[in-house]
Structure 1
Amino acid sequence: MAVAAVVSLLAAGCSGGSGGAGRDDTFVYLSSRGLVTEWDPARSYSDEVVVLSNVYETLTRYDAGTGRTEGVLATGWTSSEDRRTWTFTLRDGVRFHSGRPLTAEAVKAAVERTMRLKASASYVWDPVDRIVPLGTRRVRFELSRPAPLDVIASATYAAYIYEVRKNAGDYRADGWGTGPYTVASWRPGGENEVELTAFEDYWGGWRGDRYREVVYRAVPQSSTAAQLMSSGEGDYAGGLPPQLIDTLRGRPGVTVRERPSWQTLIGLLNTRKAPLDDLRVRRAVVNALDYEQLVTASRGALVRSDGIIPKGLLGYTADPDLPGDRALARKLLAQAGYGPGSGRTLDLEMTYPAGDDTIRTLGDLMTAQLRPLGVDLRVKGLEWSSAQWPLAKRKDPDERQDVFVMYWWPDDPESLSYYRNVFRTEKEISYNLAYYSNPRLDRLIDRVGALTATDPDRAVRTYRTMQDIVVDDALVLFLGTTVYQRVLNSDVEGFTDNPAYANVVFVHDLTHR
């Protein structure tokens, strides 16, 4: 259904409201695609976090509003002065869905299994040398280097505490987590992909008008999602295009919530493939774009990036010397033998995750901005897991794309993953899709994590040096920082959009009218 058709339907008077009779206790989360590809909480590293965060819990949770961690499965924690020994006190009365109690031994087993599997974001636990249970409700972590373990323990991925058994089974089955919900059904490819139901013995209780059921509904068409929200059949939708968001503002029964995220949109330049292996060409490309115009074209979906690290995280810099000098771009292209009058066109291929309307709009505008400078940018939307990522990881650099566009956000509320995952030297390519290697930057990346725990001011200066290296070597297009635009049923109360947990709704925190 076209956007115009939805606008017409809304204008005709589709009413908002409580979601219809019989589902007041059910929270309906609308997603543009299926969410779950991996149920194992130690291996999960994709969109299923939206579901798993309501089934599994972590020792702590990061509050982006206060910049502090708060207790979940842990009620308190202490650290040694050198930040290399941490002791957590566990919440009393917590049980796994199997009925077994949460103990220090269970915490040790879960974290050690996650570390052993080396999947997902297990690297966040790399500083941990030893885990020592101290009775049943206290557990000590001994580290090889200083680290902010209370923050690490709140990570979006790889920090879940789950029940480990000798014969690990199906993690969709009841019994593995401590969270407020258990999995009632999973229908891959189905409209109602996942259904959760209340865990009656949840330590947090079920006081008040809380949602006892959760449905994750796959709605590929944004226009259909907008219609469902307007008619009261959905309680939450994120990622709708701005033109549809505009049709929903002010409508009865619907609330639009917006806030800047920690999710940056970046374009990584292939440093190992001609012509972008030439630093002059890379600097020309990053300077040739009008970033303000790109952000304006996003119609509120993006704000201008200030650099690698977004606002709200340690190392954020509000006034970096970012590229954007088109006169310099022309000069550099001429030096490299390209541009108007040279007789040579600079041909570049840019890939992005298919289905993203914002990036598609930006891609069209980028093509138009670059054309007068003699740069022919071909933009391709590719399915992430089956096409875009495999293309980027081909052995032959000449077969890869020139520019790889993706969103990036941190695995835990630290800034390290913006550099460690994306710009540190890799033997086997994972997310360093600029294919960049710089021993000096590697050393700074390896050092800054410990500085975060012991000398935050020095860590900030180190992050600034790291950003200067990335900008000087022209590795990345700073295309913008996502503005979360959420559509909520007006009957939903208690919603907080926490950028530390991208797209996650902690449903037990909510109530309904």
Structure 2
Amino acid sequence: MTRRTTTLLAVLAAGALAVTGCGSAEKKDSASTSSGDSNTLRIPYLADMSVPDPDVFYDIEGNGVILSQYEGLLKYKAGTLDIEPNLATKYEVSDDGLTYTFTLRDDVTFHSGPKMTCDSVKAAFERRVDVDQAPAWMLADVKSMTCENDTTFVIKLKNKVTPFLHYMASSWGPKVIGPEAIETNAGDDYGQTFLETKGDGTGPYKLTSFKRGSAYTLTKNDEYWGTPANFQEVILSITPDMGTQRLKLEKGDLDVILHGFPASELESLPDSVTVEKQDSLLRLILYVNSNKAPFNDPEVRAGLQSTIDTNQLVEQGYSDTAEKSTGIYPPGLLPGEPKLPYTPDPAKAKAAADKAKTKKLTLAYSADESGVQRRVGELLQAQLKTAGYDVTIKEVQLPTVYGWAENLEEAPDLAIMTNTPDGAHPDLWASIMFSSTGGLNFLGAKNEKVDANLGKAISLPPEEADPLYKEIAQEVIDDNKFFLLGDVKNVFVMQDSLTGLSNTPAYPWLVDFAALKRGN
């Protein structure tokens, strides 16, 4: 795949606010004592991650395993969309925007023991290009990578890529992998076989066990250059049933549920459990298939603006775990963008539906353990029925979604999904969603003006690019092939005894494992 996508389930390879970590917490009064080892953090996954190789991994379930082991040159500052140094202490960008110079930390060692130098960083970046899997696109415009000395890494681009620093900060951006994979166990596949179950990074945790279908174990890195982790061990158990996850959490056998907990059940949790609602860049989206009747007619598509009651979908579907979207981009990415004009008007909705060549529609929703997507689908089904459509809804899985592009005539008329950008820059949303070749453009929407503006904006400074991104937003609004419905929160359900929660909006379903601790 070219880009990653997400649903509220484990993988579908994926706030009106200035995002500054202003999530909300619902804290219960009484304290709790979790059972088991107080030095062990226990977290369930709904499904296996694809692979713990950061040059191949492009899902969401498993981000915690990747980012606990591996680090990039830059990262997003906790609770914000701001970029800050990580394995680099500082960076400089040339006036022409083609040369990036990173000054590297000189106190970092890999889990396998050797010290990190510029040569090891260069080797890790070259490996991403050589492996050439989905995340490799972030280095596609690199012309050369050189080391001026042990702590100075220089990247030269072929073309100006304004969001390049956001590529470096992305959770799927290039990570620094150590020599155990790149040299000792490289083999004929650049160490991919080795990294299927093992690792060699610089992060606060080491991967010490990877048993697919069962559990993964992360063990504290005592030689970590930064703030040490609080828990000695993190055990991530594969627990595909949300009911089982809840029972184990309430008994104290699990510490944190990262996503997928049914919103309707949050109020019924015991006093021993805390619910944290944190800002994210996750978006609830309605895709429209404009490649066949009835929505190949622009007037019929436009009628959806009057058919959809966004307030009802978000309020009843998400139960205070999402907010109605106000713009095409996730909040905080493009201030001053055009406002979404979705206003229910039954008369206009019916008039548009009357022009439709067919009233029979198929509405697909992506599978998710929480049941949110089904609930939103049922609400939308009722709204469309009021306008005069006969709607069949169905649940779909990931392979089906990726197959739609092969036969858009047989693809559903409408689809509901939750997706997130690759980073906190307008291009990292618009290019994957609205471009005719975007990896998340599952129903084949095409708009020549959008494609042209994306091609121009990528190399322009913000003062010139932002007006183009706003034009893209207006085109998407007017074209009615995508409807942005809700800004979805990260919802973490956790033992009341845990403190130190740290979450970054651009890293979905993820808390900093190393920052969590039991008690004050």
TM-score (norm 2): 0.86
Letter in 2 for 1:382: V
Looking at structure 1, the residues matched to 401 and 113 of structure 2 have their Cα atoms a distance apart, in angstroms, of 43
Of 84, 90, 105, the match for 1:70: 84
Of 107, 129, 150, the match for 2:143: 129
SS, match of residue 183 in structure 1: strand
- Cα deviation, residue 37, structure 1: 1.3
Residues 316 and 99 from structure 1, CA distance in 2 versus in 1: closer, same or farther, beyond 3 angstroms? farther
- Cα deviation, residue 224, structure 1: 2.9
SS, match of residue 291 in structure 2: coil
Letter in 2 for 1:423: F
Letter in 1 for 2:232: R
Correspondence 1:327 to 2:347: yes
Looking at structure 1, the residues matched to 289 and 360 of structure 2 have their Cα atoms a distance apart, in angstroms, of 14
Correspondence 1:439 to 2:461: no
Kindly tell me the number of residue pairs found equivalent between the two proteins: 478
- Cα deviation, residue 473, structure 1: 1.1
- Cα deviation, residue 435, structure 1: 0.7
1:38 aligned partner = 51
Of 163, 173, 176, the match for 2:200: 176
Looking at structure 2, the residues matched to 431 and 150 of structure 1 have their Cα atoms a distance apart, in angstroms, of 22
Q: How does 1:103-502 map to 2 (within 5 A)?
A: 103-143=117-157, 144-163=159-178, 164-165=182-183, 166-167=186-187, 168=191, 169-172=193-196, 174=198, 176-190=200-214, 193-204=215-226, 206=228, 210-237=230-257, 238-248=259-269, 251-298=270-317, 299-314=319-334, 317=337, 319-322=339-342, 324-336=344-356, 345-385=359-399, 387-390=400-403, 392-393=404-405, 395-426=406-437, 430-451=439-460, 454=461, 456-502=462-508
Letter in 2 for 1:491: S
Looking at structure 2, the residues matched to 322 and 104 of structure 1 have their Cα atoms a distance apart, in angstroms, of 51
Residues 368 and 205 from structure 1, CA distance in 2 versus in 1: closer, same or farther, beyond 3 angstroms? closer
- Cα deviation, residue 120, structure 1: 2.3
Q: How does 1:21-36 map to 2 (within 5 A)?
A: 21=36, 23-31=37-45, 33-36=46-49
- Cα deviation, residue 315, structure 1: 5.0
Q: Which deviates more from structure 2 when the two are superposed, residues 316-325 or residues 357-366?
A: 316-325
Correspondence 1:512 to 2:518: yes
Letter in 1 for 2:282: Q
Looking at structure 2, the residues matched to 66 and 430 of structure 1 have their Cα atoms a distance apart, in angstroms, of 26
Q: Which runs of 4+ in 1 moved over 6 A?
A: none
Looking at structure 1, the residues matched to 503 and 345 of structure 2 have their Cα atoms a distance apart, in angstroms, of 35
Residues 121 and 404 from structure 1, CA distance in 2 versus in 1: closer, same or farther, beyond 3 angstroms? farther
1:59 aligned partner = 73
Letter in 2 for 1:187: K
Instruction: Give structure 1 stretches of 5+ with no counterpart.
Output: 1-14, 338-343
Contact 1:16/1:231, CA 8 A, preserved across alignment: no
Could you list the per-position Cα deviations for residues 94-115 of structure 1 after superposition, in whole angstroms to 9, with x for gaps in the alignment?
1122212211122222222223
Could you list the per-position Cα deviations for residues 3-62 of structure 1 after superposition, in whole angstroms to 9, with x for gaps in the alignment?
xxxxxxxxxxxx9623224x111111123x123112221111112223111111111111
Residues 66 and 432 from structure 1, CA distance in 2 versus in 1: closer, same or farther, beyond 3 angstroms? closer
- Cα deviation, residue 290, structure 1: 0.8
Instruction: Give structure 2 stretches of 5+ with no counterpart.
Output: 1-29
Could you list the per-position Cα deviations for residues 265-287 of structure 1 after superposition, in whole angstroms to 9, with x for gaps in the alignment?
11211111222222222222343
Residues 296 and 146 from structure 1, CA distance in 2 versus in 1: closer, same or farther, beyond 3 angstroms? closer
Looking at structure 2, the residues matched to 503 and 30 of structure 1 have their Cα atoms a distance apart, in angstroms, of 12
SS, match of residue 39 in structure 1: coil
Residues 396 and 146 from structure 1, CA distance in 2 versus in 1: closer, same or farther, beyond 3 angstroms? closer
